[in-house]
Structure 1
Amino acid sequence: MKHSLGILAVLLWSSVQIFAQTDWYNPFGKGEIPVQGRCWNEEIGAKYHRLPDRAEKVVRKALWDLSCQSAGLYIKFKTNASKIQVKYTVTSGFSMPHMPATGVSGVDLYMKDADGQALWCAGKYSFGDTVRYTYDNLTYPRQSDKGNEFCLYLPLYNGVNLMEIGVPAGSHFEFAAPSKKKPVVIYGTSIAQGACASRPGMAWTNILQRKLDFPVVNLGFSGNGRLEEEFFRLLAETDASLFVIDCMPNMTEDDRVGLIADRMAKGIRILREKSQAPILLVEHDGYMGYRVSDAERSRFEKTNEQLRLCYQELKQKVDGLYYMTFEELGLSMDSQVDGVHATDLGMFQYAEAYSRKIAKILFP
């Protein structure tokens, strides 16, 4: 009995020692909130939400609930640690039938090297009452004493609570302040939110953020990018460098197609009352089963026809209005999981198309 108690004591002591050797950092500790990829940062405060609390009384419940998911949020920090741990809890189920737990509920870490290139970090993970990711044996070619900058992307389809980032005791660690640059603000659907990326870094908005090395705000809401006046009024509060309106995948229903022109015109008018930032309208990316189904082709082509007519009329009246076509998006046959939502290949193709278009608008 004494022998067993002795072994237990040693194990407990070892656990305490291991825990004591890790310094844990809460993004919502003291100082400026380091969460990036959202507007209203100070107003939202210590929550991994995308809209301020007052929006709950403005938008439909379905949209509000989705805004409490952390899609597109990211945290940058600098460290020289050889090991980085991340632990947090989530608010709902880990996965969906067409999207894995690593995309729905996981995090994703990238290191920026001395040349400014974003390098993916492969981590070990476990999903339980607390989700844990461990990035071990990290090395830093040509690092400074403070190490390199990291970018941690948060879950795409889950809410996050109680997140901490741990490094070995004595390692340098500091959160990066949010960028002061005006962001690209994207209003869209489930595809913009991140369905169905295998991990958060593969959502096209996050790929775009890395490719442009520029702040991007993800306001994609699964099934709820419906061009509603109430949301455009919130959107108009943001100090964007560019507004992207990519809502056509949620406007294909027969009772919505006829609303496209009126809602878009009203929304653009609301934006122009507050901002002169460029506005990019985007066609439906297409249901990739259309090659063998005329019905599928008709469903997205009718929305694109309406959007194109709307753009032709509005561009005569609105300065700084741009347009991206189905052909410019250029998704390939294997770019979707279910004929609607993007695979990682589709996400990459989306980001490629957007980066080309946005570069011409913002960095001619």
Structure 2
Amino acid sequence: MKKIILSVLLFAAILSIKSQEIKYTDASELNLIGKPFPDTPNPYHRIDTLVFKGFNTTENRQVRCPVGMSVLFKSNTTKITMSTNWGYVYNTVSTMPIAFRGYDLYFKNERGEWQYAASGANRNYQEGKEDTFTLIENMDGTAHDFMLYLPMYSEIHTCKIGIDNDAYIEPIESNFRHRIAVYGSSFTQGVSTTRAGMSWPMQFMRHTGLQIVSIAASGRCMMQPYYTTVLEELETDAFIFDTFSNPDAALIRERLLPFIDRLIKAHPNKPLIFQRTIYREKRNLDRVVDERETAKAEAVEEIFHELKNGKEKERFNDVYLITPNASDNHETSVDGIHPNDYGYSLWSRSIEEPVMQILAKYGIR
């Protein structure tokens, strides 16, 4: 009798251990969306730097980071574990580690909207070692559609999603529409966010249902000719630019017109929507910053006035200039430059109406 009881208990213990085992699926085997170019050797790289040349060391690192990319999948697991092998890992005091080397998880609620579920990063991360942590647990085992944002500023070599041993995971189709490319600065990258899904492009994407593909380049968005080559080759239905945040007035005057000319030629009859740079709170008392920002703004206004009113104005019919707003009572800045999550939310909502009105002219809804 004792042997029978012991056998039953042992069998139950084995089943319990078995149910706690984790099975992993590489995220690239699911539906990876927001990827600018489909055939990079590393599926988590935005740009193949063996194909596109000219990037400096910083830019090479940036284009290998999966900012703007997310994974769509369905699972009935009760727990999700993330296991990552990192390449370059970013570090800064103004951005949460969850944003630059963590994961941000959403699920589709009963209204069909993407709703926040969990976010996290490994507190005990060690460079060079596989990084594994529990992203969420104690779910009830109901099947959900998930969207997992990848880190906004660290390179991934491998990314595996762990689920219960007796659960399933499968890719789901994307219901995001069209392809809208964004090219911009650290603002577009999402510096100073708490998690990857809170940059203005990602909030805009969730709220409008338009698929964003990001060519964000923190500190390095200066309309360089080699970056323009990337944009020329990109398959997209429209562009939204944050190109006036990094270059000074002289560089804007030098590069803006050639930049626009090349994109008009490469993407005829597609909207090129430029945004004025947002107000930097640093300029409130810093006279040097204020003078620099004023000069940049004046250069942009002068050039666009000529574009829209000059002899060749018909050639620039698809070029637009709009104004974002990321400030509410001057209380949304993290470091005098970048907004916080709420500031990026204000930014996203402030451009939604003018952008959607412009896109509607081109049948993009």
What range is the shorter-chain TM-score in?
0.7 to 0.9
Amino acid in the other structure paired with 1:46? N
Partner residue in 1 for 2:263: 271
- The question of 1:21 aligning with 2:21 is answered yes
- The question of 1:113 aligning with 2:109 is answered yes
1:187–1:225 contact (8 Å) kept in structure 2: yes
- The question of 1:284 aligning with 2:285 is answered no
Distance 1:248 1:124, change over 3 A: closer
Counterparts of residues 177-256 of structure 1 (less than 5 Å): 177=173, 181-252=177-248
Q: Unpaired runs of 5+ in structure 2?
A: 1-9
Partner residue in 2 for 1:296: 289
SS at match of 2:145: strand
Residue by residue over 1:299-350, the C-alpha shift from the partner in whole angstroms, topping out at 9 and shown as x without a partner, is 212111111211222231312111113xx42523122211112211221112
2:89–2:153 contact (8 Å) kept in structure 1: no
- Partner Cα separation in structure 2 for residue 109 and residue 121 of structure 1: 5
Aligned residues: 338
- Partner Cα separation in structure 1 for residue 121 and residue 247 of structure 2: 38
When the two chains are superposed, the root-mean-square deviation of aligned CA atoms in Å is 2.6
Amino acid in the other structure paired with 2:316? V
- Partner Cα separation in structure 2 for residue 92 and residue 113 of structure 1: 35
SS at match of 1:341: coil
* Alpha-carbon distance, 1:60 to partner: 3.0
Amino acid in the other structure paired with 1:28? S
Partner residue in 1 for 2:320: 322
Partner residue in 1 for 2:92: 96
- The question of 1:336 aligning with 2:333 is answered yes
- Partner Cα separation in structure 1 for residue 50 and residue 43 of structure 2: 14
Residue by residue over 1:178-209, the C-alpha shift from the partner in whole angstroms, topping out at 9 and shown as x without a partner, is 67843111111111111011111112221111
- Partner Cα separation in structure 2 for residue 189 and residue 105 of structure 1: 19
* Alpha-carbon distance, 1:58 to partner: 3.2
* Alpha-carbon distance, 1:62 to partner: 2.4
- Partner Cα separation in structure 2 for residue 117 and residue 181 of structure 1: 15
Residue by residue over 1:271-325, the C-alpha shift from the partner in whole angstroms, topping out at 9 and shown as x without a partner, is 1112121011111112113333443322212111111211222231312111113
Distance 1:297 1:120, change over 3 A: same
- Partner Cα separation in structure 2 for residue 196 and residue 284 of structure 1: 16
Partner residue in 2 for 1:352: 349
- Partner Cα separation in structure 2 for residue 182 and residue 354 of structure 1: 18
Distance 1:125 1:225, change over 3 A: closer
Q: Would you identify which runs of 4 or more consecutive aligned residues in structure 1 move more than 4 Å?
A: 13-16, 177-181
Percent identity between the two aligned chains: 20
SS at match of 1:155: coil
Partner residue in 2 for 1:6: none
SS at match of 2:210: coil
1:123–1:133 contact (8 Å) kept in structure 2: no
Residue by residue over 1:42-91, the C-alpha shift from the partner in whole angstroms, topping out at 9 and shown as x without a partner, is x2143311112334523333212211112111111112222222221322
Amino acid in the other structure paired with 2:274? L
* Alpha-carbon distance, 1:95 to partner: 3.6
Amino acid in the other structure paired with 2:134? Y
1:286–1:297 contact (8 Å) kept in structure 2: no
Residue by residue over 1:201-249, the C-alpha shift from the partner in whole angstroms, topping out at 9 and shown as x without a partner, is 1122211111112210121111100111221121011121221121212
1:190–1:222 contact (8 Å) kept in structure 2: yes
- The question of 1:156 aligning with 2:152 is answered yes
- Partner Cα separation in structure 1 for residue 96 and residue 163 of structure 2: 27
Using the TM superposition, name which of 20-29 and 339-348 deviates more: 20-29
SS at match of 2:316: coil
Give me the TM-score of the superposition, normalised by structure 1: 0.84
